[in-house]
């Protein structure tokens, strides 16, 4: 039985619980064991004069973080956690832990991030850390539920590809039989091909791989991307989908993850929609025109911008020259039908209306210095009827990081992969 299923009203009932020994207090003739399972804590109380002699002896020798199973009687006790304790009839050690522990699970002794990640199995036993991933699980479920209700079909696209999504060198090459292949940096090309196939609305939640050499608190080399693509719409249409999805995610976390938010000591506010929109040009003006028009906004610029705009907002109408070849331009071709979703200075998502006209798309590929022949498998889908379409990609770990105020994106990934870490 899970700890969360037991209540003080079950006074006198016999129950069986199993989990890890979180803490032990040995007062001589009285031993307290705090047992931890996935749902919380249970106090096991062993008065020497009440419990079986062998059970008491076994409890005396037990080490913290050992796995145990306890069968006993629920006793109402206001001073105990959750208002009850269990007086054991039997106590079995299912697996004994070694000592000393590689890090402190009770969170009384802090550990640096590298030590925690080196011992991630133990770090994840900490309630504050496991709460992050329970919330992440709910966020993923909320995204799926929302998109299904909007008529989207979930798809899975290849993660081993023959060419870059956007060109450039940020790719991990792999040996693929007699040829070279790459780990995919985005499902972009394939979800567009599915627009040609007539799927109309698709989404994918899956890994992406980017061989970026920078080692920052906001970047991972393997991350989880939430991607959508939608036919018969433009950038404004998918921006509305995105802002409504984000609001739904926040609402679900607030209503369904109360316990986890309490453990993390976070009071989450549900953002109002529609989100504020500013153009790239307006952003440059807010920054005092110190950045030449047409250049990307670096971290310092985004942090400065975040002091002038609160919460979650869109930056729209980016210069075409700094966006990928598949992004459609406005009538003024210097400006693209693109957007980034920002949470303070953190970019959560990027999207655009796509260029669906074959000749224009081929020209864009050439203009970026890429080989049209390399993209033939992709361009073929544009020769035989493809509707106007738009989409976006949302970084799941970025969303969790921003939502929960984490200082490092590695906190939002179970086993993060960065420039230096490929284990555990």
> Active-site positions?
210, 212, 218-219, 347, 350, 398
Question: Are residues 93 and 66 in contact, defined by beta-carbon separation less than 8 angstroms?
Answer: yes
DSSP state of 165: S
In which residue are the tokens 């009827």 written? 385
Query: Is the Cα torsion angle 299, 305, 309, 314 positive or negative in sign?
Result: negative
Q: Are 23 and 31 in contact (CB under 8 A)?
A: no
Helix (H, G, I), strand (E, B) or coil at 316: strand
Q: How far apart are CA 174 and CA 222, in angstroms?
A: 15
* Residue corresponding to tokens 């040829």: 179
CB 205 within 8 Å of CB 140: yes
Residue 281 Cα distances to 58, 241, 312, 347, angstroms: 71, 24, 18, 17
Let me know the angle formed at the C-alpha of 413 by 421 and 103, rounded to the nearest 5 degrees.
70
Q: 341-361 in b/e burial notation, b at 16+ Cβ within 10 A?
A: bbbbbbbbbbbbbbbbeeeeb
Report how far residue 216's alpha carbon sits from residue 222's, in angstroms, rounded to the nearest whole number. Answer: 13
The two tokens of residue 145 are 């539920």
Cα of 13 vs its chain's centroid, Å: 40
Cβ neighbour number for residue 214 with a 10 Å cutoff? 8
Residue 38 and residue 134 in contact, taking contact as beta carbons nearer than 8 Å: no
Place of tokens 């929609």: 273
């Amino acid at each position: 039985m899970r700890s969360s299923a037991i209540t003080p009203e079950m006074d006198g009932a016999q129950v069986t619980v199993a989990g890890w020994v979180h803490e032990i207090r040995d007062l001589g003739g009285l031993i307290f064991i705090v047992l931890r399972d996935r749902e919380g804590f249970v106090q096991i109380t062993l008065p020497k004069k009440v419990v079986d002699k062998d059970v008491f002896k076994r409890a005396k020798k037990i080490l913290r973080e050992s796995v145990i199973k306890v069968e006993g009687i629920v006793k109402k006790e206001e001073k105990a956690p959750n208002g009850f304790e269990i007086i054991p009839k039997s106590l079995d050690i299912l697996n004994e832990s070694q000592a000393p522990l590689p890090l402190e699970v009770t969170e009384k002794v802090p550990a640096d991030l590298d030590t925690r990640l080196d011992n991630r199995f133990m770090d994840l036993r900490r309630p504050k850390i496991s709460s992050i991933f329970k919330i992440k699980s709910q966020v993923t479920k909320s995204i799926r539920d929302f998109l299904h209700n909007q008529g989207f079909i979930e798809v899975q696209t290849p993660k081993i590809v023959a060419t870059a999504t956007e060109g450039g060198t940020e790719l991990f090459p792999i040996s693929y039989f007699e040829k070279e292949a790459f780990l995919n940096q985005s499902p972009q090309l394939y979800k567009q091909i599915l627009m040609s196939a007539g799927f109309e609305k698709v989404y994918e939640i899956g890994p992406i791989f980017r061989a970026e050499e920078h080692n920052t608190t906001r970047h991972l080399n393997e991350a989880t991307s939430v991607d959508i693509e939608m036919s018969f719409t433009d950038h404004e249409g998918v921006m509305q989908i995105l802002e409504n999805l984000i609001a739904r995610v926040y609402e679900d976390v607030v209503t369904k993850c109360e316990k986890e938010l309490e453990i993390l000591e976070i009071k989450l506010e549900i953002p109002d929609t529609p989100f504020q929109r500013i153009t790239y040009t307006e952003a440059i003006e807010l920054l005092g025109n110190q950045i030449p028009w047409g250049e990307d906004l670096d971290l310092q610029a985004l942090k400065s911008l975040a002091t002038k705009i609160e919460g979650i907002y869109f930056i729209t109408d980016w210069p075409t020259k700094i966006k990928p070849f598949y992004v459609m331009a406005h009538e003024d071709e210097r400006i693209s039908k693109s957007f980034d979703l920002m949470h303070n200075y953190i970019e959560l998502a990027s999207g655009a209306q796509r260029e669906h006209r074959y000749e224009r798309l081929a020209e864009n590929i050439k203009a970026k210095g890429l080989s049209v022949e390399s993209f033939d498998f992709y361009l073929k889908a544009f020769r035989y009827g493809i509707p106007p379409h738009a989409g976006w990609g949302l970084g799941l770990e970025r969303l969790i990081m921003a939502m929960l105020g984490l200082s490092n994106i590695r906190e939002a990934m179970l086993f993060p992969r960065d420039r230096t870490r490929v284990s555990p």
